[in-house]
Every structure is written in C-alpha cells, then in structure tokens.
Amino acid sequence: MNEREIARLKTELAKRPAGEFHFPEVYGSGWDRLYIGDKVKTGREFLEAVRRGLFPGVEDTGTKKGGRLYRWRGE
C-alpha cells in the first residue's frame, strides 16, 4: 500500500462517523471493479497497515462478520 493510497483512505475514514466498518466501505466504489485476488491482496495490505499503526484511530476487532470488522474511533 503506497503513501498515496494511505492518504486517500485516511481522507475517507475522516468522513465517517465513529463505529464499526468493513474495509470495502472505506475503499469506495472501485472495490466492486477489483478482481478477487486484488481484493484479497488489498484487504490484507490494509489489515497489515492497521496493525502497524498507519491508520491512527482504526483497530482490528478480530471479528469476521461478512468480512473482517474494524472499528473507527473517529479521531
């Protein structure tokens, strides 16, 4: 995940109210146009970036309900 993509996702997160979300909600409308392999790769990159602290205010809930569930603290 490059710096440009990280910045874009941070902008999208800032628009959201605090609460739980699935990554495709933040990724945006282009998600449905990705091939399944690209979805898996991009989702994994986001998870790793969250775990490394690149998205302050986002935490992995460790739960999968229709996909991995994250929590945004709205910071």
pLDDT digits (tens, 9 = 90+) for 3-61: 999 999 999 999 999 999 999 999 999 999 999 999 999 999 999 999 999 999 999 99
Number of domain units in the chain: 1
Residue 40 is predicted with a pLDDT of 95
What is the structure's pLDDT at 23?
97
Domain encompassing residue 32: 3-72
pLDDT at 66: 85
pLDDT at 39: 96
Q: What is the DSSP letter of 33?
A: G
